[in-house]
């Protein structure tokens, strides 16, 4: 029997020849055969101490038989057969304690189906994402890839009965803070399915926070459930302080992972505070909207490549101390700049082609580990290539590199905001442009 495949219109179990790869049933919404295959492989692996045989078992019984969802999540998170065997060996208490939860997860098909049908009611042009409940290696509890909803049950099916003491420190945070994720798996599925409906994320900190905030707010709205993200409670109790700090960090690229998608807790002793930022913006937008249905539509259809649209969306909430334009202008004034080029004045028309070095001078000391160049408007054919890096001066206020010039040519290169000062504030981009003379 192929346990755990459900559809609201067809909830009977579907038989499968377990010696063959399971058929992908396009009418099915929730697929759980990977859970059965994993535990079949697990039991066989535990019965032998032969390392080579263990690798063959996980490959043949779990990976080769796996659904397209398993293939997708393995590719997305770089899971390997060896990784599975290592995890099975190292964490026996964990696997034994979470096994009953995964059996329960297999029964959640109808519940997940119903939850996704609720989302469909509020989401115009809803795209069906087949859901796959898989067993992974602690790198995601849920994601969307290849238009599939992918759940990692080793994280998404946990509760306070699961023994996590063997697990590495870098994944302990999740289990300490999401002790009842099994009870909110349907909420997770809706959250991830919303990502499958959203327009492509153009990644910067504000966009990413809103992107996650939309998925979290709409999923909790659809399910009529509170968010289970730990950052929410802290944010709601410290809204002013959190938003003040966010305004300081919003435009600084190296602050991104202090707010999202990492275990960093430097700011408030709590990770993923960006989820709260995005959620609060969406919640306020919804509260202020006269047409609530239109507000949900606006959120789901945000164009993250349209900077003006994102700024308008945020400005409507009034949660920031100033408009996005004003905040951007204020930040721009704090950025370091290129003040001069030592060898010639930028824009010169008769630069000697014998020059072999260019030295950039900055308005303040720069981070010596960061730099970057890009083509100018004239493209690759006119780019001033870096032949060799000499490096930063001792005080960090200049940077020298070697070039090779030819006569009678216009040269361009953009000194990008990959250069940043010692505190991480990115350089205001600077275009070097000049023309070499005949000799």
Q: How many domains in the chain?
A: 3
Residue 428 maps to which CATH number? 2.60.40.1220
114 and 95 in a common domain: yes
Residue 140 included in any domain: yes
176 and 48 in a common domain: yes
At CB < 8 A and 24+ separation, what contacts does 75-79 make? Answer: 75/145, 76/140, 76/143, 76/145, 76/150, 77/136, 77/137, 77/139, 77/140, 77/143, 77/152, 78/139, 79/136, 79/137, 79/139
Residue 111 included in any domain: yes
Residue 342 included in any domain: yes
343 and 280 in a common domain: no
333, 356, 382 - which closes a domain: 333
Residue 171 included in any domain: yes
268, 298, 333 - which closes a domain: 333
376 and 318 in a common domain: no
Residue 186 included in any domain: no
176 and 70 in a common domain: yes
303 and 175 in a common domain: no
204 and 73 in a common domain: no
344 and 321 in a common domain: no
Residue 191 included in any domain: no
Residue 274 included in any domain: yes
218 and 88 in a common domain: no
274, 305, 333 - which closes a domain: 333
248 and 144 in a common domain: no
Residue 189 included in any domain: no
157 and 31 in a common domain: yes
Tens digit of pLDDT per residue, the chain (439 long)? 233 333 333 222 223 333 334 333 333 479 999 999 999 999 999 999 999 999 999 999 999 999 999 999 999 999 999 999 999 999 999 999 999 999 999 999 999 999 999 999 998 889 989 999 999 999 999 999 999 999 999 999 999 999 999 999 889 889 988 888 999 999 999 999 999 999 999 989 999 999 999 999 999 999 999 999 999 999 999 999 999 999 999 999 889 999 998 887 778 888 899 999 999 999 999 999 999 999 999 999 999 999 999 999 999 999 999 999 999 999 999 999 999 999 999 999 999 999 999 999 999 999 999 999 999 999 999 999 899 999 999 999 999 999 999 999 999 999 999 999 999 999 999 999 999 998 7
Q: Please enumerate in sequence order all residues whose Cβ is within 8 A of that of 276, keeping only pairs 6 or more positions apart, or say none.
A: 229, 231, 232, 234, 235, 236, 242
402 and 307 in a common domain: no
* Residue 289: domain span: 198-333
């Amino acid at each position: 029997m192929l346990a755990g495949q459900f559809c609201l219109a067809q909830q009977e179990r579907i038989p499968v020849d377990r010696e063959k790869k399971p058929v992908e049933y396009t009418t099915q919404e929730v697929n759980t055969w990977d859970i059965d295959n994993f535990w079949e492989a697990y039991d066989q692996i535990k019965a032998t101490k032969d390392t080579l045989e263990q690798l063959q078992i996980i490959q043949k019984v779990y990976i080769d038989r796996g659904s397209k969802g398993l293939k997708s999540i393995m590719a997305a998170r770089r899971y390997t057969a060896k990784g599975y065997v290592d995890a099975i060996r190292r964490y026996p208490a964990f696997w034994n304690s979470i096994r009953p939860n995964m059996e329960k997860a297999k029964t959640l098909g109808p519940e997940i189906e119903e939850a996704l049908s609720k989302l469909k009611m509020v989401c115009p042009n809803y795209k069906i994402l087949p859901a796959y409940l898989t067993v992974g290696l602690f790198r995601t509890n849920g994601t969307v890839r290849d238009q599939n909803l992918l759940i990692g049950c080793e994280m998404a099916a946990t509760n306070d009965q699961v023994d996590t003491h063997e697990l590495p420190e870098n994944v302990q945070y999740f289990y300490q803070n999401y002790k009842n994720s099994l009870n909110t798996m349907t909420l997770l599925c809706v959250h991830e399915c919303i990502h499958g409906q959203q327009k492509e994320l153009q990644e910067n900190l504000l966009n990413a926070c809103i992107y996650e905030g939309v998925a979290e707010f709409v999923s909790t709205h659809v399910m009529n459930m509170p968010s289970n993200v730990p950052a929410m409670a802290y944010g709601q109790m410290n809204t002013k302080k959190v938003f003040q700090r966010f305004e300081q960090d919003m435009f600084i690229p190296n602050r991104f992972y202090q707010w999202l998608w990492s275990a960093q807790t430097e700011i408030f002793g709590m990770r993923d505070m960006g989820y709260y930022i995005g959620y609060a913006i969406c919640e306020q937008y919804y509260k202020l909207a006269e047409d609530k249905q239109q507000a949900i539509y606006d959120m789901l259809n945000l164009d993250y490549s349209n900077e003006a649209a994102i700024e308008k969306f945020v400005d409507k909430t009034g949660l920031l101390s100033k408009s996005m334009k004003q905040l951007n202008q204020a930040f721009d004034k704090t950025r370091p700049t290129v003040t001069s080029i030592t060898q010639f004045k930028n824009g010169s028309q008769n630069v000697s082609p014998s020059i072999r070095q260019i030295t950039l001078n900055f308005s303040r000391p720069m981070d010596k580990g960061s730099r970057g160049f890009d083509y100018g408007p004239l493209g690759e054919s006119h780019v001033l290539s870096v032949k060799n890096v000499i490096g930063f001066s001792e005080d960090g206020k200049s940077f020298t590199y070697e070039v090779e010039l030819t006569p009678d040519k216009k040269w361009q290169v953009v000194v990008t905001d990959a250069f940043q000062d010692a505190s991480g504030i990115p350089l205001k981009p600077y275009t070097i442009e000049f023309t070499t003379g005949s000799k």
